[in-house]
Chain A
Amino acid sequence: MNDDSFGRITGDPNAAPRLTTKMTARGVNVFYGEKQAIKDVSIDVTQEHVTAFIGPSGCGKSTFLRTLNRMNDTVASARVEGEITLDGENIYSSSMDVVQLRARVGMVFQKPNPFPKSIYENVAYGPRIHGLASSKATMDQVVEKSLRRAGLWDEVKDRLHDSGTALSGGQQQRLCIARAIAVDPEVILMDEPCSALDPIATAKIEELIHELRGRYAIVIVTHNMQQAARVSQRTAFFHLGTLVEYGDTSEIFTNPRETRTKDYITGRYG
């Protein structure tokens, strides 16, 4: 790990002294078999901000996102080097329980993937397996609170026992967000959550991200640069597995330091 180079990328640490760092990555390399997908990435994720990962297809931004809650463990050939911490604790150490980690670092996927069960069961599943609700009444409250936070309650409160897969695409994605926040995570990772949605549903999700900011540290991967500019405060630009530039979103979009960032943002490639 190289603190000097990291300082250069994140900018002056004194600029925002009130921020709490939720997750840090130092010198992370990810390999799929022989192929290196992520090269020496160091980054901080702050509690108060929405962090956006942008970059052309295949640049490794989704791969890096999945290392943050160890979803890459399910890929047999994947190997992660370096250090990633959550509240200062290394998530790849043997003392970290991966099941608890994924409850603390929730994930929303590219394609809405509700369970083929009722809306209620979709949201209640996480709290149930983690034993977060002791009674039916508590569970009802957890479900309602999660659906309200995901902005879905008013649309589904009369049909909680209908199938979650019968909802529209945008509603399904908000149901997946409700499912993720039902276990009360600390960080929410979103992997291109709007890429399968129409503009109206996208706007609703973006609005929701705004509302959830501050309560949860949010990391969002997106292909859509306007979306990154709209929803995030910090932006990281990935290219060919490396982190090219990481800084305040306004900086990245108006005054990028690196030529590659500038070229990408102005649509030269990607």
Chain B
Amino acid sequence: MNSRIPNPVAQLDMPGAAESAVRRPTDWKSGAMQSRVRRRYAAERRFRFLGLTAVLLSVAFLTFLLVTMIGNGIRGFTRTEIRLPIDFPASTLILDPAALRGPEADRALAGADLEGVAAAAADTAFGQGGNRLLSDGAWIAVRQAIKADPSILGRKADIWVPASTGIDLAAKSEAAAADEAAHARLEQAGAVRTGLNLGFLTAADSTDPTLVGIWGALKGSLLTMVVTLLLAFPIGVLSALYLEEYAPRNRWTDLIEVSINNLAAVPSIIFGLLGLAVFLNFMHLPRSAPVVGGLTLALMTMPVIVIAGRNAIKSVPPSIRDAALGIGASRVQVVFHHVLPLALPGILTGTIIGMARALGETAPLLMIGMRAFISSPPSGLTEPATVLPVQIFLWSDEVNRGFVEKTSAAIVVLLLFLLAMNGLAIYLRNKFETRW
């Protein structure tokens, strides 16, 4: 630091001098070496511990989520039923059993005051106000019973009908004191049981939690996903192929690449606003329809597919392209006979990840009106519909406590849907994967 005068000792340490000197053999057992070895082992152990902790933590979170969701959700798939004795001959019901044996049956039943009959029977059986123990849809069970066996119209019959939300809650967890008391009375009389709620899997939204079903939203989701897949997959894959295999490398392709990467990162609500402006206001497509939802989600999914597709195409070894070109395959043949089949597992994995993200998307669909109250499952792509995540969002907002377990049940259905999609992705990847 201070001397410019050559130091003879320092000169000895210079490379030229050291080379000429005899090199001492390395002492692998010295104290410094030993502590270096110990530090290395400690670092290994530390890393393994941290990695394991991270994995355990995420497994714990996942387990917690699944256990709570399934624990709550499973109750949404069951319902509490009450045995309702109805004395048909004594009731006010005017129905001709003969009319029930033909195509006119539905009309005949529609004209009959089944709701009144059920309410009166409940009041008779459980005392004044007994009607309130039953679900608003109790008469539907009565109607089904009559349709199944019209002969019961001539006698007294016991029909199991869904209970009201209060009784349902009292049976499953805790409810208001009056409901708990009513439930206890019913239980003592042996007039209450728990049954599978098939209606949940076949019905659509409703204002009464005992009548709601997930099928409307599930079907809406399915239709929306079909539109998304049909649009985003071919456009995404063809874009990826063109950009990787054909496009010249220049400023324009760089610009396109940056734009696609940015597009994949745009918040989904922006896509919703875009869908609202373009598909609804400009193109005048029907509001709340799966076709519009699918179009909007396709915009969102396509960049994900392009990025995943380009990576998969890039990972196909160039020697395969050389081999095919070398025996006189055209570029299209190289792409479709060799590159695409080898890249397909990666493309499919990326596609399913993009689709899973689209399936769970709520925000853009709110913008295009898929949050409407839709009480019947959509019958086509242009019918009003809602989708699973939006349905969850809507139910979680409900005041009625009966919707709590329905929300959880809807989440379980959504998770199962996702699980099925990911399972499909793994199956497809293994099926098309080439062993080298």
**Residue A142, interface by CB 8 Å:** no
Cβ contact of B326, chosen from A71, A76, A100, A163, cutoff 8 A:
A71
Q: Is the CB of A106 within 8 A of B326?
A: yes
Q: Is the CB of B327 within 8 A of A183?
A: yes
CA distance A113 to B325 in the complex (A): 12
Which residues in chain B, 319-336, are within 8 Å of chain A measured between CB atoms? 319-330, 333
**Residue B338, interface by CB 8 Å:** yes
Q: Is the CB of B326 within 8 A of A129?
A: no
Q: Is the CB of A126 within 8 A of B436?
A: no
**Residue B225, interface by CB 8 Å:** no
State the main secondary structure of chain B at its contact with A: helix
Query: B299: which A residues are within 8 A, CB to CB?
Result: none
CA distance A183 to B324 in the complex (A): 12
Cβ contact of B327, chosen from A76, A103, A116, A165, cutoff 8 A:
A103
Query: A42: which B residues are within 8 A, CB to CB?
Result: none
Query: A180: which B residues are within 8 A, CB to CB?
Result: 326-327
B330 and chain A: residue at smallest CB distance: A99
Query: A99: which B residues are within 8 A, CB to CB?
Result: 328-330
In the complex, per-residue mask of B305-329: 1 if CB is within 8 Å of any chain A CB, else 0: 0000000000001011111111111
CA distance A180 to B329 in the complex (A): 12
Closest Cβ–Cβ distance, residue B331 to chain A (whole Å)? 9
CA distance A103 to B333 in the complex (A): 14
**Residue B3, interface by CB 8 Å:** no
**Residue B380, interface by CB 8 Å:** no
B326 and chain A: residue at smallest CB distance: A107
Q: Is the CB of A109 within 8 A of B323?
A: yes
**Contact residue range for chain A?**
20 to 34
Supposing A109-B319, A113-B322 touch, asked if A130 and B328 sit within 8 A by C-beta, the answer is yes
Query: A182: which B residues are within 8 A, CB to CB?
Result: 327
Closest Cβ–Cβ distance, residue B400 to chain A (whole Å)? 59
**Residue B232, interface by CB 8 Å:** no
CA distance A163 to B337 in the complex (A): 16
CA distance A76 to B436 in the complex (A): 29
**Residue B30, interface by CB 8 Å:** no
Q: Which of A76, A114, A115, A180 has the most CB of B within 10 A?
A: A115
Query: B320: which A residues are within 8 A, CB to CB?
Result: 113, 115-116
Supposing A76-B248, A116-B342, A116-B434 touch, asked if A71 and B327 sit within 8 A by C-beta, the answer is no
Closest Cβ–Cβ distance, residue B337 to chain A (whole Å)? 8
Query: A106: which B residues are within 8 A, CB to CB?
Result: 326-327
A108 and chain B: residue at smallest CB distance: B326
Which residues in chain A, 76-126, are within 8 Å of chain B measured between CB atoms? 76, 99-103, 106-109, 111, 113-116, 125-126
Q: Is the CB of A115 within 8 A of B324?
A: yes
CA distance A113 to B326 in the complex (A): 11
CA distance A136 to B320 in the complex (A): 25
Query: B330: which A residues are within 8 A, CB to CB?
Result: 99, 129
Q: Is the CB of A183 within 8 A of B328?
A: yes
Query: A76: which B residues are within 8 A, CB to CB?
Result: 248-249
Supposing A100-B328, A130-B328 touch, asked if A71 and B323 sit within 8 A by C-beta, the answer is no
Query: B24: which A residues are within 8 A, CB to CB?
Result: none
Q: Is the CB of B338 within 8 A of A109?
A: no
B317 and chain A: residue at smallest CB distance: A113
B319 and chain A: residue at smallest CB distance: A113
**Residue A179, interface by CB 8 Å:** yes
Query: A71: which B residues are within 8 A, CB to CB?
Result: 322, 325-326
**Residue A176, interface by CB 8 Å:** yes
B328 and chain A: residue at smallest CB distance: A103
Q: Which of A106, A111, A129, A130 has the most CB of B within 10 A?
A: A129
Q: Is the CB of B434 within 8 A of A179?
A: no
Closest Cβ–Cβ distance, residue A212 to chain B (whole Å)? 16
Q: Is the CB of A69 within 8 A of B436?
A: no
In the complex, per-residue mask of B329-351: 1 if CB is within 8 Å of any chain A CB, else 0: 11001000110001000000000
**Residue A74, interface by CB 8 Å:** yes
Q: Is the CB of A111 within 8 A of B319?
A: yes
Q: Is the CB of A115 within 8 A of B436?
A: no
Closest Cβ–Cβ distance, residue A184 to chain B (whole Å)? 11
A109 and chain B: residue at smallest CB distance: B322
**Residue B107, interface by CB 8 Å:** no
Query: B155: which A residues are within 8 A, CB to CB?
Result: none
Q: Is the CB of B249 within 8 A of A69?
A: no
CA distance A70 to B329 in the complex (A): 13
**Residue B435, interface by CB 8 Å:** yes
A74 and chain B: residue at smallest CB distance: B325
Q: Is the CB of A176 within 8 A of B323?
A: yes
Q: Is the CB of A102 within 8 A of B342?
A: no
Q: Is the CB of A129 within 8 A of B322?
A: no
Closest Cβ–Cβ distance, residue B116 to chain A (whole Å)? 73
Closest Cβ–Cβ distance, residue B356 to chain A (whole Å)? 29
Which residues in chain A, 183-219, are within 8 Å of chain B measured between CB atoms? 183
Closest Cβ–Cβ distance, residue B254 to chain A (whole Å)? 14
CA distance A183 to B329 in the complex (A): 11
A104 and chain B: residue at smallest CB distance: B328
Supposing A99-B330, A129-B333, A163-B435 touch, asked if A115 and B325 sit within 8 A by C-beta, the answer is no
Query: A113: which B residues are within 8 A, CB to CB?
Result: 317, 319-320, 322-323
A-B contact pairs, 25 of them (CB 8 A): A69-B326, A74-B325, A76-B248, A99-B328, A100-B328, A101-B328, A102-B327, A102-B328, A107-B322, A107-B326, A109-B322, A109-B326, A113-B323, A115-B323, A115-B324, A116-B320, A116-B434, A125-B324, A125-B327, A125-B329, A126-B328, A129-B327, A129-B330, A182-B327, A183-B327
Q: Residues on B close to A: CB < 8 A? A: 248-249, 317, 319-330, 333, 337-338, 342, 434-436
- 11 more CB-based (< 8 A) A-B contacts, given A116-B342, A116-B435: A71-B326, A74-B325, A76-B249, A100-B328, A107-B327, A109-B323, A115-B323, A125-B329, A129-B330, A130-B328, A165-B436
